Chains A and B, each alone.
Chain A
Amino acid sequence: MKTINLTVNGRDFQLDVKDNEILLDTLRKKLNFTGAKEGCGEGECGACTVIMDGRAVTSCIILSVEADGSELETIEGQSIGEEISDIQEAFIEENAIQCGFCTPGMVMSAKALLDRNPNPSDEEIDIALSGNICRCTGYYSIRDAVRRAAEKKGGNK
């Protein structure tokens, strides 16, 4: 067991975790951030994507102890009350959501991209999001949503 410190969506948490505890499970079960999902448990589907110290990562293959001291961003931090983020708005406007299971991970991958690269090319969007599987939409609307989010955030398109 170890005691770790995590900052999640700007809020500090101190908690005890087992050495073999997975970050995704800590987020979902101990901290109740159930937005990130386990789609495969092996880092291959992207449903568990969160942002750790500014980088998109698949939290299902990271130990919580590895995340000690880091700053995490999850889907829950993207909206405050009734205010949703530009990216979330764009996803709704472009109808880029069907069953909704991949959506939190997809939005976080999009955020990680736009935070670093406010004006991504289509190829750059594909590179950032090809690790997020969606079985429902066919991805066309998701690409449109990321482009639209970039526009909203001020990237020139």
Chain B
Amino acid sequence: MTEEMIGKSVKRLKALEKVTGNAMFVHDMEVQGMLYAKMKLSPHAHAKIVNIDTSKAERLPGVWTVLTGKDLPYKVGLYLVDKDILAVNKVRYQGEPVVAVAAESEEIAEQAIELIEVEYEKLDAVLDVSDAVKEDAPLVHENIEELESAPVFFPKPGTNIAHHTKIRKGDVDKGFEEADYIIENEFDLPMVDHTAMETHTSIGQWKPGKKVKLWTSAQSPFAVRNLLANGLHLNHEDIEVTVPYVGGGFGGKAGIHFEPLVTCLSRASQGRPVKITMSRMEEFNSVPVRQGLFSRLKTGVTKDGKIVAQETEFLWDSGANADYGVNVTRAAATAGAGPYEIDNVKLDSKTVYTNKIFGTAYRGFGHLEILWAVERQMDLVAEEIGMTPYDFRMKNALRRGSVTITGEHIGDSHGKVTECLEAAAKEIDYDNRSSEDLEEGKKRGKGIALLHKAPAMPTNTGTAAFLKFNENGSVNLTVSLVDYGQGTYTALAQIVADQLNMPVEKVNVVFEQNTDTQPYDWQTVASKGLFMSGNATIKACQDMAQQLKEVAAQPLRASVEDLIIEDEKVKIRHHKDQYVTFKELAMGYTYPNGNGIGGPLVARGNYIAQGLSNIDPETGQGHPALDWTYGAHAVEVIVDEETGEFEVKKIASAFDAGKVINESNVIGQIQGGVIQGYGSAVMEGYQFSDEGRLLTNSFTDYKVPSIADIPELTPIIIENAQEDGPYGARGVAEHPMISVPPAVANAVQDAIGVQLKEMPVIPEKLFELIEEKKNK
């Protein structure tokens, strides 16, 4: 086996279809007989639905179906089943869908929506997590004890707390007694949007016999199937989910969204397919977001900079639903102290309901949010004790032999956060921060921040791969992992090419996902795609190699042990001039006299996470992490010390990826992730009116980075192998985004001494702090 495929920047699969505009997204699809759906949204953050008059809409020619919450007695959700398909009895956020219409054209559907009259009785809304956890707070969900949930989540009846993860390591009280300094701070960050360029869109068709066909822009076809089956009481085998090209997801399309709605609309429309497409405004307003987070950190540290105790409270603003939010809370808690060794930790991470659009999976899965607090706190503590942020982190970083806050032991296979820190800091010349070359009034600052994340997934997550030959000796690989731009499929093709010693051009990784024809994958999330599907693919290749040899052994009159795979042939190891080609074996081998043996070659492989365990509900101890990817960002900023205007000049971002399979695609993930993190850092954040109405509901006021915004970026890849990853690789998909915001804020603090604790980092806030500092 030659190694030349691994590490090579093979051209991205399907780039040609995308660059010619040929790639078809659900956005582009039309199915014969299709109807168009539109929704009427709640104008109020919290209100009783008193009456819905749909009569005028129903009479409008071209309208097939009008549905309200009363017609849909189902609850849907991933970890906590708390979502209504359409609001029932009351609305819980401004933007919640209340009525849905299916009509012959979008125009008619829109007109029908305008003819529907809904009467509300406003209720007190709770918009802030601190208010939501108070005893007398209005309840967003009154009967959370009646909701179904995965067995590791525990909603608290009579409160707005959907879940509470506890981590208890050592003895914090004792730790604080040992501390020479105790530093306490509060941090805050708002909700943020995924802003994938293709909005959520699905086509659903109800078929006779309670069967469903769906085409949907989604990250996880099997999750859609599973949640639909559970939610609507259908059989898995009766639901077919197809996912074509997907225009971005970033976690926002990981679960189930409007698929149940279009299914029900189709069922009520005599089985006509129904398509729904979110407008960009609906995408901001009515489609889930990344949670907001309020944190309180209390750190005890000795004179020589060792962290001896940390007490943390995370209040996650999950909005009106927590079906995904509870897991964000749990997963982020297991990483909640950052990549540091701390002997005594008390961490409480709570999912809190508020009357706002709800949170779901988002690239980083809570880790960008917690690390804002943790990495800012590191710099605030370092300043207090008179140590450099670099030295302070080096002193406390996890190393071989360290124990994490969930009781996991760091070993050789873990990657090295210290190497990432060193590399990133070196790249921006961290120690040199003079402002001499700058205009008067401008100051240079350099900041660093570390990150770590493991996939947040069930302990028994599994995936599978099918491999089959085509008549001409090429192969098809099918996995239900979705490649919506990460480039995973290209890496998988490289793996097959390497394992079977064949040209990568002859490996066809099937691009459209279909739950009927393809093997299971849990979800395309968590940066586990290459790891798990890569391992499953390797096993499928090994299975295929074995089958090739078993058939070839017969005409070659050799035993399987004497055979090798080389150059698309099965050869006798010690007589390489004797061989059978893949093409001759693909559909079964045929002897000269006509006898056929073998058969069409189909192989399979699967992979299930090995040895993971749930965390104890009282102590948080356990082994939930498949692998840990570490990283570090180093940022240089120039700040105007009068006005707070600032510019990020340079970012250096280092990640321990274990082993790079396709370098250009890893660089692509780093560049894209860092800029997405940059958006969170300096410009993104939901703003609501006092009544809970979303103000930032278009690109006019929800700003995302443009090509003109990007700072100079140096990606750095470090390779300390992950023993159980494919070729030593570990995931690096979400990680580039994490910790960019605190790196920027740390650099600003370094430049002008202001201590910002709220995201995003904007001149208005810096100016306030500058003025405060002046007035002291």
Q: Are A and B close enough to touch in the complex, i.e. CB under 8 Å?
A: yes
Partner of A100, one of B195, B199, B485, B668: B485
Cβ B248 vs Cβ A101 within 8 A: yes
Bitwise, A83-106 to B at CB < 8 A (1) or not (0) is 010001001110101111111100
- Supposing A44-B699, A99-B484, A135-B248 touch, asked if A37 and B24 sit within 8 A by C-beta, the answer is no
Min CB gap B363→A, angstroms? 10
- Residues of chain B within 8 A (CB-CB) of A99 are 18, 196-198, 245-248, 484-485
Partner of B196, one of A104, A135, A139: A135
The yes or no answer to A64 lying at the interface (CB within 8 A) is no
- Report the interface size class on chain B: 35 or more
The yes or no answer to A150 lying at the interface (CB within 8 A) is no
The yes or no answer to B438 lying at the interface (CB within 8 A) is no
Cβ A140 vs Cβ B710 within 8 A: yes
Partner of B197, one of A39, A74, A84, A129: A39
The yes or no answer to B700 lying at the interface (CB within 8 A) is yes
Cβ B713 vs Cβ A133 within 8 A: no
* Residues B697-722 near A (CB distance < 8 A): 698-700, 704-708, 710, 713
Given A34-B21, A37-B27, A37-B247, 16 other A-B residues pairs in contact with their CB atoms under 8 A: A37-B25, A40-B698, A42-B700, A45-B197, A74-B21, A95-B15, A97-B15, A97-B19, A101-B27, A101-B248, A134-B197, A135-B194, A135-B196, A135-B250, A136-B197, A138-B675
Cβ A103 vs Cβ B280 within 8 A: no
Cβ B699 vs Cβ A136 within 8 A: no
- Supposing A44-B699, A143-B707 touch, asked if A107 and B19 sit within 8 A by C-beta, the answer is yes
The yes or no answer to A41 lying at the interface (CB within 8 A) is yes
The CA of A34 and the CA of B672, in the complex, are separated in Å by 25
The secondary-structure label for the interface of chain B is loop
The yes or no answer to B12 lying at the interface (CB within 8 A) is yes
Cβ A76 vs Cβ B197 within 8 A: no
The yes or no answer to B279 lying at the interface (CB within 8 A) is yes
Measured CB to CB, the nearest residue on chain B to A42 is: B698
How many chain A residues touch B (Cβ–Cβ < 8 Å)?
53
Cβ A103 vs Cβ B27 within 8 A: no
Cβ A104 vs Cβ B11 within 8 A: no
The CA of A99 and the CA of B486, in the complex, are separated in Å by 8
The yes or no answer to B145 lying at the interface (CB within 8 A) is no
Bitwise, A132-148 to B at CB < 8 A (1) or not (0) is 11111111111100000
The yes or no answer to B487 lying at the interface (CB within 8 A) is yes
* Residues B240-257 near A (CB distance < 8 A): 245-248, 250
The CA of A131 and the CA of B699, in the complex, are separated in Å by 11
- Residues of chain B within 8 A (CB-CB) of A138 are 668, 671-676, 705, 710, 713
The CA of A136 and the CA of B679, in the complex, are separated in Å by 12
22 interchain pairs, CB-CB under 8 A:
A35-B21, A38-B27, A40-B280, A40-B698, A42-B699, A45-B280, A75-B21, A92-B12, A95-B664, A97-B485, A99-B484, A100-B15, A103-B21, A107-B19, A126-B707, A132-B707, A135-B672, A135-B676, A136-B485, A139-B675, A139-B710, A140-B671
Cβ B675 vs Cβ A98 within 8 A: no
The yes or no answer to B23 lying at the interface (CB within 8 A) is yes
- Residues of chain A within 8 A (CB-CB) of B199 are 39
Bitwise, B148-184 to A at CB < 8 A (1) or not (0) is 0000000000000000000000000000000000000
- Residues of chain B within 8 A (CB-CB) of A129 are 706-707
The yes or no answer to B665 lying at the interface (CB within 8 A) is yes
The yes or no answer to B20 lying at the interface (CB within 8 A) is yes
Min CB gap B111→A, angstroms? 13
Measured CB to CB, the nearest residue on chain A to B25 is: A101
Cβ A44 vs Cβ B197 within 8 A: no
Min CB gap A43→B, angstroms? 9
Cβ A95 vs Cβ B19 within 8 A: no
The CA of A129 and the CA of B705, in the complex, are separated in Å by 12
Cβ B198 vs Cβ A101 within 8 A: yes
Partner of B668, one of A47, A91, A137: A137
- Supposing A137-B671, A138-B675 touch, asked if A130 and B198 sit within 8 A by C-beta, the answer is no
The CA of A109 and the CA of B707, in the complex, are separated in Å by 12
- Residues of chain B within 8 A (CB-CB) of A101 are 25, 27, 196-198, 247-248
Cβ B707 vs Cβ A100 within 8 A: no
Cβ A41 vs Cβ B713 within 8 A: no
The CA of A133 and the CA of B709, in the complex, are separated in Å by 11
- Residues of chain B within 8 A (CB-CB) of A132 are 706-707
Min CB gap B651→A, angstroms? 11
- Residues of chain A within 8 A (CB-CB) of B280 are 39-42, 45
Bitwise, A24-35 to B at CB < 8 A (1) or not (0) is 000011000111
Cβ A88 vs Cβ B19 within 8 A: yes
- Residues of chain B within 8 A (CB-CB) of A78 are 20
Cβ A44 vs Cβ B698 within 8 A: yes
The yes or no answer to A70 lying at the interface (CB within 8 A) is no
